[in-house]
Amino acid sequence: MRNILITGGAGFIGSHVVRLFVNNYSEYNIVNLDALTYAGNLENLKDIEALSNYTFIKGDICDYNFIKEVFAKYSIDAVIHLAAESHVDRSIKNPFAFAQTNIMGTLNLLEAAKNSWNNDFENKLFYHISTDEVYGSLGDKGLFTENTPYDPHSPYSASKASSDHFVRAFYDTYGLPIVISNCSNNYGSYQFPEKLIPLFINNICNNKPLPVYGKGENIRDWLFVNDHARAIDVIFHKGKLGETYNIGGFNEWKNIDLIKVLIKTVDKILGREEGASEKLISYVKDRAGHDYRYAIDSTKLKEELGWEPSLQFEEGIEKTVKWYLDNNAWVDNVTSGDYQKYYKEMYE
């Protein structure tokens, strides 16, 4: 048996990773540690919560003594670290929370792993999940490779860049066995509706304005979340220690074009006239420091570890829209209470 600590497993990507590992590896004990912030939701894992190789612990990665106890109690052999504050707009309003969780929380986990493993690093691994935003912003040409210099612009990406540096520093200084992956924008089920795709699907359904930042010309590179989880599985098992792997689907979209695809897909499923919801598009003030373009070169992951995305974007978007429409109760649950306050502060 291997005891694997997955942090942030009640969040969007984390819940897909936990589900994949619990279902596919009965020989692993999966310990999901999550603080259940606004972004964490145990409803995301209802289907696997009763399985015998799964344990949930509520707790904060910023509490070092607690993390130390978790390593000792569960004899943790490997960590897949996803817990983070993840929304750029929130980082602009409250950067402290991002430094606290993303930098100090990661440092706590590294220190707890180092001390618990006590130089016996055989079969141990600290896998840190990062983002393409650490590389900064591209012009119209070029792709981020694993050698692109870090150039973060938002408090969120600055905190993720800092955590990546700490992870590499623990490899160089203490020999802690680490691996890092930097992924592009994810979409799919269970994403909190503060991020573009679930927010806009929900607003189109409810005939609410669609707040497009600036001119809608920024470009993102979208990957279906299940493909990210599959990449994490491959890197966890086959990744080379000390290495970084970029994850992306070579799937760039200008925001406004993507929004039109969302409108078309939702309108079609709801039986509305084609393009009826385009009237909801509302151009609003741009995000401060808005990165123009992200685009990932994931050639290394394909050539060295054999991973490729499994899904075409059109298919992924249709599946995703259907999931949000079929899961009204989940959407209603996460958009009640504090979400309303957040929405007012951010958009009204």
* Catalytic positions: 132-133, 156
- What is the SS3 assignment for 174? helix
What type of residue is 16? H
- With residue 23 as reference, give the H or E element that holds it: helix 12-24
Which residues lie closer than 8 Å to 121 by C-beta, 6 or more apart? 175, 176, 177
* Interaction residues for ligand DAU, span 122-151 (CB under 6 A): 131-133
State which residue, 2 or 287, has the beta carbon closest to ligand DAU: 287
20 binds ligand NAD (CB under 6 A): no
198 binds ligand DAU (CB under 6 A): no
Q: Which of 15, 37, 162, 218 binds ligand DAU (CB under 6 A)?
A: 218
211 binds ligand DAU (CB under 6 A): yes
CA neighbor of 128 nearest in space, from 157, 159, 164: 164
As a whole number of angstroms, the distance between CA 107 and CA 163 comes to 7
State which residue, 18 or 196, has the beta carbon closest to ligand DAU: 196
86 binds ligand DAU (CB under 6 A): yes
User: Residue with CB nearest ligand NAD?
Assistant: 11
86 binds ligand NAD (CB under 6 A): yes
250 binds ligand DAU (CB under 6 A): no
241-268 burial: b if 16+ Cβ within 10 Å, else e: eebbbbbbbbbbbebeebbbebbbbbbe
User: Residue with CB nearest ligand DAU?
Assistant: 131
114-144 burial: b if 16+ Cβ within 10 Å, else e: bebbeeebeebbbbbbbbbbbbbbbeeeebb
Cβ atoms of 74 and 5 within 8 Å: the answer is yes
As a whole number of angstroms, the distance between CA 41 and CA 327 comes to 14
Q: Are strands 219-224 and 252-254 parallel, antiparallel or unpaired?
A: antiparallel
Cβ atoms of 15 and 9 within 8 Å: the answer is yes
| Residue for token pair 């602009």 | 92
Instruction: Select from 35-43, 66-74, 119-127, 272-280 the region that touches ligand NAD (CB under 6 A).
Output: 35-43
Q: Which of 29, 101, 298, 320 binds ligand NAD (CB under 6 A)?
A: 101
| Residue for token pair 């929380």 | 105
Q: For the CB of residue 195, give the shortest distance to ligand DAU in the complex, in Å.
A: 4
State which residue, 226 or 277, has the beta carbon closest to ligand NAD: 226
Considering CB under 6 A, how many residues would be counted as binding ligand NAD? Answer: 30
Binding track over 284-323 against ligand DAU, x by CB under 6 A? ---x------x-----------------------------
State which residue, 256 or 269, has the beta carbon closest to ligand DAU: 256
Q: Which does 16 bind (CB under 5 to 8 A by kind): ligand DAU, ligand NAD, none?
A: none
Q: Which of 6, 12, 108, 294 binds ligand NAD (CB under 6 A)?
A: 12
CA neighbor of 84 nearest in space, from 190, 178, 155, 2: 155
What type of residue is 231? A
**By the criterion CB under 6 A, which residues form the site for ligand NAD?**
7-8, 10-14, 34-37, 39-40, 60-62, 82-86, 101, 105, 129, 131, 160, 183, 185-186, 192
**By the criterion CB under 6 A, which residues form the site for ligand DAU?**
86-88, 131-133, 184-185, 195-196, 199, 211-213, 218, 220, 255, 287, 294
